[in-house]
Structures are given as C-alpha cells and as structure tokens.
Chain A
Amino acid sequence: MSRTISLTLRIWRQENGTSQGAFETYRTGPISTEMSFLEMLDVVGERLTLEGKEPVAFDHDCREGICGMCGAVVNGQAHGHQQGTTLCQLHMRHFKDGDTLVIEPFRSRAFPLIKDLVVDRSAFDSLIAEGGYVSVNTGGAIEANTLAIPRKIADLALDAAECIGCGACVAACPNGAAMLFVGAKVSHLALLPQGQPERSRRVLAMVRKMDELGFGSCGNRRECEAACPKRISISNVARLNREFLKASLLADEE
C-alpha cells in the first residue's frame, strides 16, 4: 500500500570533469513509496528549481530498465541494494522513513565524470566497435530458417545478449574491469553459429581494446554479477577466459 517516507540525501555534485566535487545534503520531504528512485530525484529537482538552484544532473531515458542509460551508486551499491534492478526500476517502498542515502556517480578510470551523476561510458561503444557483431552487410543474409539453432543454445545466447550496457559491472568492480560486459557479448556470439567465422578474432580484439581503454583485470570478486540489473551470469566471464585462451593458443595468424 502507498505510504510516504522522508529521506536525507547526500548527493555528489560536481560542475564538470575538471572541477572539484563534493557531497551536498538535501531533505526530500514526504515521498510516496510508489515512486521510483528517479521520480524521487525528479521531485527533489523540481524543488531545487523553484529555489533557483540547478537540479542534480543524472542520465536516464526509458525508465523501464532496458535502455541502460540510468545508473548511480546508492549507499555503496551500483543501482542500489535491490538485486536485478536498474535505478529507474528501484522503488521507494524498499527504503525506510528517515533513511540517509548516499548517491554517487559510477566511478571508474574508464568512465570520466561529466557532471554530478553523469559519466561518459563511450568506452563501451569502443569495445563493441572492435567486434561485438557479425560482419554481415544488409542484403547478404540467407533464409532465416536455414539455420537450425537448438533452443537451449538460443536461450543461453539471449541470457548473455540481455546486457543493457549500463556500466554497473565496471562501477562495482574493485579493479574497474569490463569483463562481464565483454564476456556477455563474446558469449552471445560465440554460442551461436552466426558468430563462428569471427569467433577468435572477436575475442582477441575486444580483450586488447579493453586493456587499452584502461579497464582493469578480473579478480574473481563477483561484484559485477551482484550489481548487474539483468543478472548476467559470471559464467560469461569464465567463457570469455576460455575463448581468449583458445583463440590465443589456436587461432590462425590473421
């Protein structure tokens, strides 16, 4: 049932990537527990606007948990404490009256800060550009049902392909690794017959790029899996390691 709670927010405010940032404290006033976390931030933003201040900048778009645009660290956890949930789908009923919430951006060397809670995640696009696709031009496709794919394989591929590219895995990782993100894409395509021709080249190129962009290495702490709003399994990281090893040892020179 709907009730109201009041919270204290300590939010990271930072003008831009080069300026000094700091936490500022805001009180929410009564908030309906039916609201989403971002709707709560909207309410605070409206009030700041009326007070002649700038509202907190944060990325968001679909507010349905699928576009991957939103995300912040709430009380030390990427997307907050609710498992398998993006920040936009986290509802205020999961907080108690009087709680204090510390809200910070996704911090990582590979994600430079832009403003307040907004960070630059274009490194993820650079990773995909290295080979997170099947190189097939429009028009060059065979008839779709020519390729029989066992249902179980298609399901496993989709489990990996569900990644929304939000960056929570990187923010949660003590090393700032992008292994879960890359593992998900490599797994999606390595499992499917369409991904086979470029299987080795893809994994080698994506891992090389990952290092180049300043992402850290995996320490098997599994923080990424715990933070992932789509519950992408850590087994995709294991598959990434296997794929990388196999490709490094066995791949033909390209």
Chain B
Amino acid sequence: MHLDAKIPSGPLPEKWDRHRFDLKLITPANKRKYDILVVGAGLAGASASASLAEQGYNVKTLCLQDSPRRGHSIAAQGGINAAKNYQNDGDSVFRLFYDTIKGGDFRSREANVYRLAQISNSIIDQCVAQGVPFAREYGGGLANRSFGGAQVSRTFYARGQTGQQLLLGAYGALMRQVKLGKVTLLPRREMLDLVVEEGEARGIITRNLISGELECHGAHAVVIATGGYGNAYFLSTNAMASNVTATFRAYKRGAAFANPCFVQIHPTCIPAHGNSQSKLTLMSESLRNDGRVWVPEKPGDRRAPADIPEAERDYYLEDKYPSFGNLVPRDVASRNAKEQCDAGKGVGATGLAVYLDFSDAIKRDGLQTIEMKYGNLFQMYEKITDQNPTDRPMMISPAVHYTMGGLWVDYNLMSTIPGLFVLGEANFSDHGANRLGASALMQGLADGYFILPATIGSYLAGLTTKTININQSTFLATREEVENRISRLLATRGRRTIDDFHRQLGLLLWKDCGMTRNEKGLREALARIPAIREEFWHNVIVPGSGQALNQSLERAGRVADFLEFAEVMVIDALSRTESCGCHFREESRGADNEARRDDNNFCHVAAWEFSGPSTHPTLHKEALSFENVELSQRSYT
C-alpha cells in the first residue's frame, strides 16, 4: 500500500484553487450517467447528497434511521466556526487555520486544514441562504461567541441547537433533490459490507432493517459518511446506533484506517448515574464561556458547594492556564478534571465530577442574560439531574465524544480504495490529535457541500458510464459473507446479552485506552479483547429472526465489529509512544506534566492496513510536514 496524499504544490493559500483548476471535469450532460451511493445522512452525507444531485449526478442516499433528518450531527449544540472576522477581533483564514492545527497538536495536514478555514466562510453564506436561523444582534447582523482553543469570537450558533438547524438545512436541500427525482432515498438501511471489484469500490451490501432483506447496490463511486466510533466505549455522547461497521468493513476490504487511537474525551458531560446508564449527555462547551470550573481544595470535602467558602475552592483551570482559563481545549480540560478526581477532589455521588459554576456570571450579567444564553442547556441539565444549575453549580465529568481517527483519505477525500470516498467524522483528515469545539460541523459541511462535489468528478471522469451490474459474482459473494455472519449471530444462542459484552468492552477501553494510556494497560487490553470477542461469538444471545425488524441483531452486528476494531485502536495507541492532543501516554510528559510530543519519531499519520484475520495490521506512515507554522509544544498558559 502506498499513501499518496495528493497535496497540490504551490503556496498554501493557492493550493485549493490550483487543484480545482487541475482536476478533470465532467460536463453537465454526462454527470447524469454516473451513479453515486452516499451512506449516512448526517451533515456530511446530506450536504454531499444534495450538492452532488444539484450537479446532475444520480445519487442514492441510505441511512440507518427512519428519516435523514435524524443523523447525530443533530445533537451538536454549541456552534460552527468560520473566519468571517465579523467581530473585528483579529480573526482571519490564517488564524482559524493556525488555531485548528495547533488545537490538533500538529498531527493534521497543513493543506487540508487551510482549505477548511478557507471554505468556512462559504458554509455560513450557504446556511444563511437556506434559512438557518442563526443567532443575531439587535442590528440584524449575525452574532458570534467564543469557544475553546481560540482567543477570538468566531463561532456562529442557533441557541444550543446549532447542529439541528444546520442538519435541517442540509436535509431540506436533500429532500428538494428527492422531490426533483435526483436522489433516491433509502432510510432504515444499514451498510454491512463494501463491494470491491478489481480493486475499486463498486457498491455496498445493505440490510433493509424492516424486512431483513440483504440488498446489493452498485455505483461508480461509494461515499461513506457514517460518523465516528465513540460507541466502542459503550458509554459516549454518541447516538445509540452510531457505530464503526461501515468504516470497519471498508477497512477489512482494503481501506487504511488512520489514527484510530485519537478519541476525544469531552470535559463537560452530565455524570453517569449508575449501571443502567445507556449513554451520556453532553453539555455544550459554550458553557465554559461563563461557567467557572472548580473543585474543593481539600480532598474528600463532601460539603455542599454553597457551604464551601471561596478561599477553599480550587479554580484549577484559571490558575494553571491564565490566558485561556476555562476555555482551554477539550483534551486539556478533561485531563485536568481527571487529575483532580484522581487526587480525591472530585465531587458528586461517584467523586468523578467537577463543578461548573455560573454564580459569578449571574452576579455580573444578571440571571436573565445568562438564561437567555444557556436557558435550553440549563433545562436539559435539570431534566436529567433534577437540579437547577442557577441555584447550585452544575456537576460535569469527561466522556467519550468524538473520534478524530477514521478512514485515511487523500486531499480529494478518497480512501486507499479507489472509488471509495469518506466524509465528516468517518474520515481522519482535519483535526489531528484533538478537535477544537465548533469544528466538526464546519468539517462535515466543508466535505459535503464543497470539497467532494469538486473532487469526485476527477475520479469519475476516468470511468466508463456503464451501469454497475449487481448480479456479478463479487456482489453475490460479498452478500453471502454477510448472510453467513448474520446466520452465525442468530445461531449462537448463548447466555449473555449483547449489552453485557458491549459494556465489558467499553469499561476495558475506558480504563486502558481512555484519557491517559500506558504501555502496561494497553498490553493488558490487547490480551483481553480477543478473549471477550471469542466469548461473544460463542455465548451471545441474539433473539428473533433475520427476516424482520430485529434491533437485537442490529446491535449484535455492531458490537461484533467494535470487538474487532478495538484491537486496532489499542495497537495504534501502543505504537504511538508519544503524547499528542487527546492521546496522552503517561510515559511521555514534560516537566509541567503536560503532554510531550515526539516530533522526531511521530510527526506522521499512522494508517493501518488489514492484513488478514488474527494477523497484526500493517502500519503505513504518512509523514506530516509543516512549512507554514512552527512546530511548537502546545501551551495554553
């Protein structure tokens, strides 16, 4: 396998322009002769489907949910970044680029991130034109707020439901193309395998979740936009059905998986309540604009927060990081919370939470102003915890949130399998080792609205327009493999439930491949995962049949893939002995206890190639070169 990122030559600001000029085009009359499959209908999938259909391609869009309006992008609360500099506070394309590269701890490609910053402004224009009701100032102009890892206000938002409003915009654009007959929409479908014909992606196998039927879909190109794999940890802020299956199946068919160990742990989530917890809920990072994070200064102090006088509180983020204060990036905030809890200073029933306190902000700005900004988040918190955060500080704790790793893609967003494109959280491209807040929506929409529609034509232009025959042997053979796998799951009839195995895997990953990692723990995990997997295939219970709606069977398939994928994740974490961004190797830290990168040995993307069952995957390195920014140790003090 050879990794060619296809980064265009020339100065950074001109690369994308030059590249678009160099790419081959397809005339409008010929575009209708090409079929494209889009798997997933979150921000990336919906925006790509709509934009490709607008250009004239024949698009078929498939999603797990009953409607393409439900992808988990919908749950993004805080906002979307853009380099508009509406606040006149010194922002620019270069600053957004720089903040994102630095936030990612110098483990992403300069050219990709610069392009993302360039496109950011067009995204805001596009969304406003669609009628996305962003927050506004009294003068009628767009409002902004600040987010972690930046010293400018560049985040556009719609109360605490920016993701919802952006997704409904993309969904509207998609439904318009459905009405025009340019997109065929197939909801309640799950991609269970990729069909590769002579080394190129030519289709997928899906399960119709209502009838259970296994369906073959052929196309000239396949686009995967199925999100991240945070649910490997069982508890995460992801939706219940979020999974690794589509990307992992593609990996097993030859697509390299890049940086799987880069998993973002978000500092402000509502703490877990007990063993029956099914998922975790995020509280937007925007709360850290006005909330102050603190713990009692004395370990084991069980007094109610109101009884702890100011002098006995430890505002550890403000003390340690005076210039960024409570708005340090997510990885830094999470690790510091862990450090406090490990020292016995955590609060709440489990001692695994810290306070996020709004009382000073309420004193300063008044209750009404603070409620106007965060009202819906406060209500959400109260609904779940039965406590009002304006009376008593919120309790928050870190939780798995976003995965920077994903299928390796080149500058055109094409994976190592020609014809297979990967967008949004499913790819690895732009966030390095840590994603900044309000950047996921930006990347998903940049990929879907602007990048893929410009690059996919160059691949398709080299193909014949002949329709892909789904009755050929590769399709039938792949479908048979999927069928056998399903039969095996249904035939196991063991004694443990699917969730039981999933929870076991999640706890193991959280302990050994979570906020901090070390060689001993990772080696232990690597030894234990195959044992759990082995037991799963002999002892899982999957009730019901394959020929009907069967939610247990759906979950069993996803957990089976997590059990295989987890091993690749741990192998990656083990091989990267440096600390960078979210990946904190206890063996690699500086005098200040902060993460210490090792640029001499690890300034690369680690792309893993499947090398056969029960064989160690093969590592391929894509070297990262920095010509426009200086590789510095990240500091937020």
Contact = CB atoms under 8 A, between A and B. Distances in A.
A120 to B, nearest CB: 7
B584 to A, nearest CB: 28
B543 A55 contact: yes
Contacts of A134: 129-131, 172
Contact of A121 (B66, B138, B543): B66
Contact of B497 (A2, A49, A157, A158): A49
A124 B67 contact: yes
B279 A63 contact: yes
Nearest to A65: B380
A49 B134 CA distance: 45
Nearest to B376: A162
Contact of B172 (A54, A60, A128): A128
B175 A133 contact: yes
Output the residue of B47, B122, B172 with the most chain A CB within 10 A: B172
Given A38-B278, A122-B66, A143 B125 contact: yes
Given A62-B75, A63-B278, A151 B549 contact: no
B261 to A, nearest CB: 26
A17 to B, nearest CB: 9
Contact of B384 (A62, A89, A194): A89
Nearest to A138: B51
Given A53-B543, A138-B51, A144-B124, A165 B383 contact: no
A121 B47 CA distance: 22
A49 B140 contact: no
A39 B277 contact: yes
B390 interface: no
Interface string B373-414: 000000010011010000000000000000000000000000
Contacts of A35: 273-274, 276
Interface residues of A, number: 78
A147 interface: yes
Interface in A62-83: 62-69
B239 A32 contact: no
B457 interface: no
Contacts of B176: 129, 133, 135
A92 B239 CA distance: 21
Given A69-B65, A148-B140, A158-B159, A63 B240 contact: yes
Q: In this complex, which of A39, A148, A158 has the most chain B Cβ atoms within 10 angstroms of its Cβ?
A: A158
Contacts of A158: 133, 158-159, 165
Contacts of A124: 67
Contacts of A165: 67, 69
B144 to A, nearest CB: 11
Given A43-B276, A46-B499, A66-B161, A138 B173 contact: yes
Contacts of B74: 62, 66-67
B548 A144 contact: no
A141 B122 contact: yes
Contact of A67 (B65, B138, B450): B65
Contacts of B136: 149-151, 154
A119 to B, nearest CB: 9
A136 B130 contact: yes
Contacts of A67: 65, 70, 72, 74-75, 239
B70 A61 contact: yes
A34 interface: yes
Contact of B129 (A121, A140, A154): A140
Contacts of B450: 138-139
Contact of B140 (A65, A132, A137, A149): A149
Interface in B499-546: 499-500, 541, 543-544
Contacts of B239: 61-63, 67
A42 B276 contact: yes
A210 to B, nearest CB: 15
B137 interface: yes
B69 A66 contact: no
Interface in B195-254: 210, 239-241
A136 B129 contact: yes
Nearest to A17: B210
Contact of A16 (B161, B500, B548): B548
A147 B384 CA distance: 38
A34 B281 CA distance: 14
A189 interface: yes
B380 A151 contact: no
Nearest to A56: B551
Contacts of A93: 386
Contact of B50 (A61, A138, A144, A145): A138
Contacts of A89: 380, 383-384
Contact of B131 (A61, A128, A194): A194
A24 interface: no
B551 A55 contact: yes
Interface string B46-70: 0100110010000000000111111
B164 A66 contact: yes
B86 interface: yes
Interface in A131-181: 132-145, 147-151, 154-155, 157-158, 161-162, 164-165
Interface string B424-450: 000000000000000000000000011
A8 interface: no
Interface in A16-30: 16
A151 B75 contact: no
B189 to A, nearest CB: 13
Interface centre among A130, A134, A164 (most CB of B within 10 A): A134
A151 B143 CA distance: 10
A36 B65 CA distance: 21
A197 B159 CA distance: 26
A64 B75 contact: yes
A151 B384 contact: no
Contacts of B172: 128, 132-134
Given A32-B273, A52-B543, A145-B142, A157 B383 contact: no
A250 interface: no
Contacts of A64: 75, 281-282, 380
B25 interface: no
Contacts of A249: none
Contact of B128 (A34, A46, A62, A147): A147
5 contacts: A2-B273, A15-B548, A63-B278, A66-B164, A137-B51
Please name the 7 residue pairs, one residue from A and one from B, whose CB atoms are nearest each other, closest first. A133-B172, A148-B140, A141-B129, A34-B273, A141-B125, A158-B133, A144-B128
Given A125-B67, A137-B51, 16 more contacts: A2-B273, A2-B274, A50-B497, A59-B66, A61-B65, A61-B239, A64-B282, A69-B65, A125-B178, A132-B175, A141-B129, A148-B140, A157-B131, A161-B133, A161-B168, A165-B67
